[in-house]
A = this chain, B = another copy of it.
């Protein structure tokens, strides 16, 4: 199945638009995992087992593995996801942004080395950066558009030709970067009125929405402003709010409850 097919299937089968961010920080892992040979993998495995019935996607953040020299545990996590829940798409959050042969290397890293279904990409360098990703028609490219962090506005909200840079990105995604129907956009939950503007430009494109939970985004506003006409279209990511729902031995059970609660809150505002 392609990324788009997996996503459409998971939305419906699990009746969920929740994405769990697998961003394990060794300093925050539950004490019960401290003696594991592969504590990050053990943490992820327990989280996946507890949540895979209630998510539409997983999003491992590559920096947490690279910065802790745990690339092997990212690989083990990706393999476990493919074995255990092959129908759930995995978005590798790498935010790559380079060109030509280098961009091709990054696409190879995400899709072939790690076997991800989609990867996040930074559009600052333009089409040259995106093409090696969207040319992989079986995979997805998730393009930064309007990010949820406080300084996201510094460049993204500069007004050019009467509209902000992030709307130019959405238009480029619609007109040039979605020729294979496999583009998606990142739009933060912390700016719901901007989410509505992006949705107006791209009525059917999947939107990956970080920033609910720890970053304070409002789920109701996200759902009301971001859903497609058929009531789907969102990949609402929560990392810390789910994976650190408890720091004790019951962390996986707490993650399950947090995932189901977020799923139900989203669905309530969807009118399901």
**B-binding residues in A (CB < 8 A):** 23, 25, 61, 63-64, 66-69, 71, 95-106, 108-109, 113, 122-129, 144, 147, 149-156, 158-161, 165, 168-169, 172
User: A245 CA to B1 CA in the complex, in Å?
Assistant: 43
Contacts of A128 in B (CB 8 A): 149-152
Q: Is the CB of A152 within 8 A of B165?
A: no
Interface centre among A113, A158, A172 (most CB of B within 10 A): A158
* Contact in complex: B71, A106 (CB < 8 Å): no
Specify the chain B residue showing the minimal Cβ separation from A215: B100
- Of B23, B108, B169, which one neighbours A67 at CB under 8 angstroms? B108
CB-CB < 8 A to A98: which residues of B?
Answer: 61, 63, 95
Residues of B within 8 A of A152 (CB): 125-126, 128
Quick one: given A109-B63, A154-B127, are A100 and B149 in contact (CB under 8 Å)?
yes
Distance to closest chain B CB from A71 (angstroms): 7
A150 partner residues in chain B, CB cutoff 8 A: 126, 128
Closest CB-CB distance, A130 to chain B, in whole Å? Answer: 9
**16 A-B pairs with C-beta separation under 8 A:** A23-B101, A25-B101, A63-B98, A63-B109, A67-B104, A67-B108, A67-B109, A99-B149, A124-B144, A125-B149, A126-B149, A126-B151, A126-B156, A158-B160, A158-B161, A160-B165
